[in-house]
Amino acid sequence: MSKKQEYFYITTPIYYVNDKPHIGHTYTNIIASVINNYKKSQGVESFFLSGTDEHGLKIESSARKAGLEPQEFVDKICKAFEDLLKITNSGNDDFIRTTSQRHKDFVIYFWKELEKNGYIYLAKYSGYYSIRDEAFYKEEELIDGKAPTGADVEWVEEDSYFFRLSAFGDKLLKFYKENPDFIKPRSRYNEVINFVKSGLRDLSISRTSFNWGIKAPSDEKHVIYVWLDALVNYLSGIDYYTDNPSKKEKANLLWNNVLHIVGKDIIKFHGIYWPAFLMANNIALPKRIIAHGWWTNNGEKISKSLGNVIDPFPLIEEFGADAIRYFLIREIKIGRDGDFSKARLIERNNTELANKIGNLVQRILSFAYKNTNQSIPSINITIDEIYENSEILTGILEKNIPNIDNHINKFEINEILDIILNIVDEANIYIDQKAPWKLKDNKDKMNIILYTSIEIIRYIAILISPIIPVSANKILDQINVPQHNRKLQNCTMEFHVKPEIKINKPEIIFKKYDNI
């Protein structure tokens, strides 16, 4: 019986285009990319959306400072975000811009629905606003006259449309209680609950003092609040309101299994406002929100004023995308903060990628290439017997792969690397102990050891390919594993490497760098 096709939808926040991308944005992209790749590898129909948040006062003023019209300015910066996704091999399935027509039309529709459902009214806003955070603050939230994030605030008094957020406090609390895994990690879940418990006021969702944004449908003086505009991207990006029945079915299937990856700084918007907007328009709430931590630079908070913003482009140029992807996932568990330093990146690259994985692959494949007729060795026992004789191979099938599947389902990608590195360590020990280079006069035995090792390499490369796709594919190319057999689904005995097929001349996969 064939299994029912599973659908999965993963999103990054859409990035503000007031400035070029940095390592924090790269991190969010790579978490989403890795989870998306693992889901695809499991055979799930997974869809990964990223994009850019291009409206609002912050961007309008950055454009003016740069002496450009806002549209010209956002077109320029947006390209850098698209390039970043490309050069990190993120593999996003779509990219949504809030200035695109498809998004603008969608926001208007969404707003009209809110209005129709009775959740929008016109009144006067007076309170604090932070342009940097694009957020409203209550007097009692301010610390020494600044936003709790440290951003400057200004006093605002103007006509505004409001969203009846206050009507959703109890409903939200009930939802959190019934869905204890809605927000991960637990500390963020608690933070959101505490915020809602402290009382929700209606939310100002339009401004009249600037122009750069989507105009409220029945009142052109008002520009729609940039966070309402932005959050809706998760639906506009899959064309949620489409009339086309088959597209609609797909959008629903995706929406029913959506995961939002966000940084911890924007959990309030995703954990409170977004669910409330969705409830107001009778749309199911997201399945899961994961809030990741922040990177510091050599121990210091990354900020433009300190001039220590980490630019991902030269790093990728120097080390390649895989080394950066590997480092960001390996260095911290999702949810924790981490410190970015080039020295640490080089250390991880050299000790783990080059010395552990690279060394294993290199020594096995070059030895096989030289001593077994440039091919996968022939074996005089059956594949079943190879597996029965190998604790590592049986361990991979019976223990490691089910564990990895389990971590994928819980989105614990850092933990997956622990398992893979363990396999690599075991394999290195196996080779040292069996020392095939001492068995040149016992070819049968030597071949069995080499064959077993190459089969282990096949698993390692497939299992790690969602994290370091370029390097993993190079390894799989060397042992001629067909392109269509490179998924988790192919991690079974059935897809074993074929004895006697040619292997390609091994080349170094992971470069080492001088320590700094």
Closer residue to ligand MSP in complex, CB, 13/275 = 13
Shortest Cβ distance from residue 491 to ligand MSP (Å)? 32
d(CA 254, CA 258): 6
Shortest Cβ distance from residue 51 to ligand MSP (Å)? 9
Residue 405: how many other CB atoms lie within 10 Å: 15
Residues 88, 90, 93, 95, Cα dihedral to 10°: -50
DSSP three-state, residue 324: helix
d(CA 149, CA 142): 9
Closer residue to ligand MSP in complex, CB, 24/320 = 24
**In 207-299, alpha helices (H):** 226-231, 233-236, 245-255, 267-268, 274-280
Nearest position to ligand MSP, beta carbon: 263
Shortest Cβ distance from residue 281 to ligand MSP (Å)? 16
d(CA 352, CA 331): 12
Shortest Cβ distance from residue 58 to ligand MSP (Å)? 9
Shortest Cβ distance from residue 15 to ligand MSP (Å)? 4
Binding site for ligand MSP (CB under 6 A): 13-16, 24-25, 27-28, 53, 230-231, 233, 262-263, 265-266, 294-295, 302
Residue 141: DSSP 8-state: G
Closer residue to ligand MSP in complex, CB, 262/416 = 262
d(CA 516, CA 509): 22
DSSP three-state, residue 382: coil
Closer residue to ligand MSP in complex, CB, 16/451 = 16
The closest alpha carbon to 23, from 315, 243, 359, belongs to 315
The closest alpha carbon to 210, from 43, 16, 14, 58, belongs to 58
Shortest Cβ distance from residue 231 to ligand MSP (Å)? 5
Closer residue to ligand MSP in complex, CB, 241/495 = 241
d(CA 431, CA 454): 11
Shortest Cβ distance from residue 302 to ligand MSP (Å)? 4
Closer residue to ligand MSP in complex, CB, 148/482 = 148
Shortest Cβ distance from residue 108 to ligand MSP (Å)? 17
Closer residue to ligand MSP in complex, CB, 16/319 = 16
Closer residue to ligand MSP in complex, CB, 59/404 = 59
Inter-residue contact 112 to 217 (CB < 8 Å): yes
DSSP three-state, residue 69: coil
DSSP three-state, residue 48: strand
